[in-house]
């Protein structure tokens, strides 16, 4: 966990009692996004998964901090009732970096994408964030210019992000090329191949391989010592028993992308649409895999946060 005294000004986040206590004690905290709850998984699987992920982080010895915006107020750490509200509500906005100020001023309810979660985690002094898969360069981006703000955020905000790679609905080669151009280190955990979210293999070599939590923690600290802006992406392959074969996923994604194009679905609506079409096409296998990889990433993130808290980075 990165320890600092942030200058909140007039937008001080509201910390849950458990997160506030952990921050005051310098104990490990793991940030969690909330878009997966409101836009990523169907009810009640979204609520069950959110609660299970938080419990896994606690079992590892860290404190979970799910981040959202309620009535224009940034919330770092949610109670069970808050999680259920996000899981059930259909009127929750999907917030990225570009939307945060407007959401605060307008008093909106919003869930946080990877980019927005990184912004608020950094503001709150939390250095480790667990998610499912990052956004990236969408297929057809040369025509649509649809590139996720997650990539730019990784290049500017100093948070270690644990994911199962980038979502397989994306153009993975272009996503990796963009991350390299932005100077974002992509560290694949214990594998020579970049994972493709639901699948362990993408056919793309690991940009950088790491085999231990200690290597990840040392990289986090060395980047701070070097004064390098931006975070690092930890690509954590889904467990073997939970993956869906790449060939099955690719067929489902290609069909979903064609449907989205024909229906004119784009921007923030595109990813939820594609994920749902893939879920249906795989008879729910992609949904089960999504839940498994979220839990797998949460465990790894908690272990990283614990090691960082033993000798925190001061900035």
Distance CA 24, CA 149 (A): 31
Distance CA 121, CA 115 (A): 10
Active-site residue flag, 33 = yes
Question: Which residues in the chain belong to E strands, given as ranges?
Answer: 2-3, 14-15, 29-32, 63-70, 73-76, 93-95, 110-112, 128-130, 160-163, 186-189, 208-210, 232-235, 313-314
Distance CA 169, CA 257 (A): 8
Give first-to-last CA distance, the chain, whole Å. 11
CA neighbor of 136 nearest in space, from 170, 165, 107:
170
Residues in contact with 260: Cβ distance below 8 Å, sequence separation at least 6, in sequence order: 266, 270, 273, 274, 277
Active-site option among 94, 167, 285, 295: 167
Summary count for the chain: helices (H), strands (E): 13, 13
Active-site option among 33, 54, 84, 243: 33
Active-site residue flag, 60 = no
Catalytic site residues? 33, 167
């Amino acid at each position: 966990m990165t320890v600092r005294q942030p200058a909140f000004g007039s937008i001080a986040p509201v910390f849950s009692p458990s997160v506030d206590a952990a921050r005051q004690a310098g104990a490990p905290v793991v940030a969690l996004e909330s878009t997966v709850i409101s836009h990523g998984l169907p009810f009640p699987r979204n609520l069950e998964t959110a609660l299970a992920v938080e419990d896994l982080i606690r079992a590892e010895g860290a404190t979970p901090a799910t981040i959202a915006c309620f009535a224009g107020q940034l919330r770092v750490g949610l109670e069970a009732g808050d999680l259920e509200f996000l899981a059930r509500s259909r009127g929750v906005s999907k917030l990225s970096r570009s939307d945060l100020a407007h959401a605060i001023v307008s008093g909106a309810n919003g869930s946080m994408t990877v980019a927005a979660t990184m912004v608020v985690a950094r503001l709150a002094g939390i250095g480790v964030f667990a998610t499912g898969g990052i956004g990236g360069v969408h297929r057809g981006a040369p025509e649509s210019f649809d590139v996720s703000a997650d990539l730019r955020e990784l290049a500017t905000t100093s948070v270690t992000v644990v994911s199962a790679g980038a979502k397989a609905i994306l153009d993975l080669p272009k996503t990796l090329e963009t991350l390299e151009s932005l100077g974002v280190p992509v560290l694949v955990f214990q594998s020579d191949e970049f994972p493709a979210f639901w699948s362990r293999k993408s056919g793309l070599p690991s940009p950088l391989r790491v085999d231990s939590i200690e290597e990840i923690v040392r990289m986090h600290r060395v980047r701070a010592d070097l004064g390098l802006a931006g975070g690092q992406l930890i690509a954590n392959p889904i467990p073997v028993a939970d993956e869906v074969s790449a060939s099955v996923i690719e067929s489902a994604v290609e069909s979903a992308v064609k449907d989205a194009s024909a229906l004119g679905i784009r921007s923030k609506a595109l990813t939820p649409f594609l994920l749902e079409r893939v879920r249906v096409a795989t008879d729910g296998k992609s949904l089960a895999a999504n839940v498994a990889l979220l839990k797998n990433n949460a465990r790894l993130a908690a272990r990283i946060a614990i090691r960082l808290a033993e000798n925190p980075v001061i900035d």
